[in-house]
């Protein structure tokens, strides 16, 4: 399974596009494979993920959340990640809210989605 994910991530990271191009990692979980949206730092990289509401997300201001865009930061040397920003959107595409306070650093576990992405971004 890890080999399949590695090949898929390698293919998506090798594309050269100029707009959001979502690649499904697993049901309802996508990664933006548009390399121009990546941000590189001295210790790692940032990228965007999209999560579709499968019924588990709470309403915001009495409006149903259709999806959230989440900016993720990876710390390459320490093999950690954190959420930098979350933007929620309603079923009509209307922006419902943003949370821009970076979260705590979390470990990246072997063979996880974040581990596969880390291996490709942290070269």
CATH number for the domain harbouring residue 6: 2.40.128.710
41: Cβ contacts below 8 Å, ≥ 6 apart: 73
Mean pLDDT of the chain: 81
Q: Rounded CA gap, 108 and 24, in Å?
A: 20
What the block records as the tokens of 66 is 């259709």
52-100 per-position pLDDT tens digit: 998 889 998 889 999 999 999 999 999 999 999 999 999 888 999 999 9
- The dihedral through the CA atoms of 105, 46, 51, 92 has a sign that is positive
| Number of domains into which the chain is organized | 1
Domain that holds residue 12: 2-121
Beta strands in 3-93 (DSSP E): 22-26, 29-32, 39-40, 44-52, 65-75, 80-90
Is 80 exceeded by the pLDDT of residue 7?
no
Q: Rounded CA gap, 39 and 29, in Å?
A: 20
Check if the beta carbon of residue 30 is closer than 8 Å to that of residue 24: yes
């Amino acid at each position: 399974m890890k080999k399949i994910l590695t090949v898929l991530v390698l293919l998506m990271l090798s594309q050269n596009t100029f707009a959001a191009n979502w690649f499904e990692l697993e049901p309802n979980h996508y990664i933006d494979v548009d390399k121009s949206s990546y941000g590189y730092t001295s210790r790692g990289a940032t990228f965007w993920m999209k999560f579709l509401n499968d019924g588990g997300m709470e309403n915001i201001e009495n409006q149903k959340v259709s999806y959230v865009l989440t900016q993720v930061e990876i710390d390459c040397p320490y093999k950690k990640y954190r959420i930098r920003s979350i933007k929620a959107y309603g079923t009509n595409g209307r922006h419902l809210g943003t949370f821009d306070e970076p979260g705590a650093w979390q470990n990246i576990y072997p063979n996880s989605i974040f581990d596969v992405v880390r291996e490709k971004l942290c070269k």
